[in-house]
Chain A
Amino acid sequence: MAYLDHAATTPMLDEALEAYVTTAREVGNASSLHAAGRRARRRVEESRERVAAALGARPSEVIFTGGGTESDNLAVKGIFWARRAADARRGRVVSSAVEHHAVLDAVDWLAGHEGAEVGWLPVDAAGRLTPDALRAELAEHGDRAAVVTAMWANNEVGTVQPVSELAAVAAEYGVPFHTDAIQAVGQVPVDFSASGVAALTVTGHKLGGPAGVGALLLARDVAATPLLHGGGQERDVRSGTLDTAGIVAFAVAVEAAVKGQQEYAARVAALRDDLVERVRQAVPEVIFNGDPLDRLPGNAHFSFPGCEGDALLLLLDAQGIACSTGSACSAGVAQPSHVLLAMGADDDRARSSLRFTLGHTSTPADVDALIAALPAAVDRARRAAALRTPR
């Protein structure tokens, strides 16, 4: 099998898996007062320090969560609630049109259930946000902005955003800036304090750790109202028994991914560039989406004119090639990608897209397998799409 969907999830690193198994054999609730509890607590705190050191944060700024979606929800809703509670005028959320649904739907929920206004920042044809657009938004509505949220790198088209510049603009207006860095950590350099962001989402299973564990890095001076109420285990912002084994494995994976980032990026980007070049040769009409330079090293995203992405996915899957249309499903039905639509693509181009993402286990043989299967799949997908009656 050629697994070209590392942005969906990537295999666990051996050292993370070993750390998980070792820790999971030990009993102990990190909140208990006895020796077993203290041992678990020590594992959690050591992990907190490792994550903080790897990502340029202080240990007290690391809040362990149940993964990326929870971290995004906690940041967006939690900071919104806290800021509005402090000043009722702050009822506006600023976000971008290309966010992951974990942010997008949290913002929509605030609009629908909390009466939040939303300022949507546009992107250019490469999916890039501009600091100028944020400045214009905040110049007009800055006094009402509760939180700005914009991703570090896009999960579909791989475009890396100018996060430090955006965070600097938000800081000028005194508005906390959250970034979803789920796709970025381990792929591009990520430093929490140097970037100037107030909150940052990271998750385990995109960088070689387990699924179901992640963190929100939350600057010490930024308040967030909890989503989950209970024991208040994590800085009174997040409740729930700590997943000691998951947290240990997550920390091992974050450390390894950050430490190996440069070498990884060089190797994987070379493989990706080869994939892009050979896809272009095999299917000359293909459109390469996203920013050609400021992009994730493992991401290749294309539109195949005259094809439907889900037909291509089926045909490649049958040949043992795993990839993604990159877009969200509704009841299993592919919707045209909101990211591509925001980049100015029409419905047909958005539906004709396919994402190939490489990762730490990728080899040249994976690319060879894709190139061997792609031309026939494109031919068949074109024939199938030609049946669609125009309406």
Chain B
Amino acid sequence: MSGGVDSAVAAARAVEAGHDVTGVHLALARNPQTYRTGARGCCTLEDSRDARRAADVIGIPFYVWDMADRFHEDVVDDFVAEYAAGRTPNPCLRCNEKIKFAAVLDRAVALGFDAVVTGHHARLGADGLLRRSVDAAKDQSYVLAVLTREQLDRSIFPLGDSTKAQVREEAARRGLAVADKPDSHDICFIADGDTRGFLAQRLGEAPGDVVDASTGAVVGSHTGAYAYTVGQRRGLHLDRPAPDGRPRYVLSITPKTNTVTVGPAEALEVARVRAERPVWTGGPRPEAPVECEVQLRAHGDVVPATVTLDGDTFRAELRRPVRGVAAGQAVVAYRPDPAGDVVLGSATIAG
């Protein structure tokens, strides 16, 4: 229970479904901020109190579990290391994979609990298949697709059949004061939202060149390649305009030479994606290529594709090229379904 509206309603629904429910708030920050600022961040002391109050209203026991060290190692350090390696990590996904449905779940099972309930917007029904939420704008199946069969079998997502608006209404009806609490956005452990500053603090300044992909010419400089993401256009501060006068985008980051390579939008287009560490939960692991749809970043476009699994490699041939595919993000394969698109599997985009 984060202290937000989703987990509060999820807990209430789990109680109503007949489960014996205990509320758990995760203390993830070593020095929690006392108050939230705007819609940013979570796990402040105020959030912890909101979660406790929601548990009171629902009538369930409530505890704070200290996961700060695990979170720091598995999510925050990983986040910094991934950027340092020129990739673009998704820390929410990593938190689900390593904390909520791993460290927390394992501890809960050892203590005698059967499952972890969260307020994620995704459907997980009796068929064991993970599906998109009915609320397309709030769907979180992308950051849950990393979960294995074993993890999904011990997970309950009571909110997948509701829109966010319905969840808020229900919270108000249940007398939960968090009903109108703003949604949390951005990265919870970067309270001020300044990812670049956060990385600079940890990785230091490392000045290097910005190079044009077609000419190889140095067209600018940067103070740390880690601050850039593939597809980024703003904040490049290039000294010289491109010969054709058109905007240039980050095409790739090369940590070895500390180089940021830029080029025209077309050069961002990718039709083939190679990814690693595949997870497949939408059925038996496929031996043959699978026709499906793939999503390449959170809230990103969905494109038809052919997916092939080969050992530890996940390949996707896209029907139409997409821009801004960044290494470190997840590729998630979905099977379109009128009852909610089904997550087939996912993997981490290599590069």
Residues of A participating in the B interface, judged by any CB pair closer than 8 Å? 310-311, 314-315, 317-318, 329, 331-334, 380-381, 383-384, 386-387, 389, 391
Contact = CB atoms under 8 A, between A and B. Distances in A.
A387 B107 contact: yes
Residue with the highest number of chain A CB atoms closer than 10 Å, among B25, B45, B52, B63: B63
A324 to B, nearest CB: 13
Counting from the closest, the 4 A-B pairs by CB-CB distance are A332-B64, A384-B110, A383-B110, A333-B66
A318 B64 CA distance: 15
B12 interface: no
Nearest to B24: A314
13 contacts: A314-B63, A314-B111, A315-B111, A317-B61, A329-B64, A331-B45, A333-B27, A333-B64, A333-B66, A380-B112, A384-B107, A384-B111, A387-B110
Contacts of B61: 314, 317-318
Contacts of A387: 103, 106-107, 110
Contacts of A334: 66
A334 B64 CA distance: 9
B106 A310 contact: no
Contacts, number: 45
B69 interface: yes
Interface of B: 22, 25, 27, 32, 45, 48, 52, 61, 63-64, 66, 68-70, 103, 106-107, 110-112
B280 to A, nearest CB: 26
A180 B61 CA distance: 33
B85 to A, nearest CB: 23
A360 B125 CA distance: 52
Nearest to B20: A318
Nearest to A381: B111
Given A331-B48, A333-B27, A314 B22 contact: yes
A311 B111 CA distance: 8
B27 A380 contact: no
A310 B25 CA distance: 14
A329 B66 CA distance: 11
A324 B105 CA distance: 24
Contacts of B111: 311, 314-315, 380-381, 383-384
Contacts of B112: 315, 380
B34 to A, nearest CB: 9
Of listed A310, A332, A387, residue having the most chain B CB within 10 A: A332
B75 to A, nearest CB: 15
Contacts of B27: 331-333
Contacts of B52: 332
A383 B108 CA distance: 10
A384 B63 CA distance: 15
A362 B266 CA distance: 78
B237 to A, nearest CB: 41
A116 to B, nearest CB: 25
Contacts of A391: 69
Nearest to A386: B110
A331 B26 CA distance: 10
Given A387-B106, A387-B107, A332 B25 contact: yes
B43 to A, nearest CB: 9
Nearest to A310: B63
A314 B69 CA distance: 21
Nearest to B32: A331
Contacts of A311: 107, 111
Contacts of A314: 22, 61, 63, 111
Given A331-B32, A331-B45, A332-B25, 20 more contacts: A311-B111, A314-B61, A314-B111, A318-B22, A318-B61, A331-B27, A331-B48, A331-B64, A332-B27, A332-B52, A332-B63, A333-B64, A333-B66, A380-B110, A380-B111, A380-B112, A383-B111, A386-B110, A387-B103, A387-B107
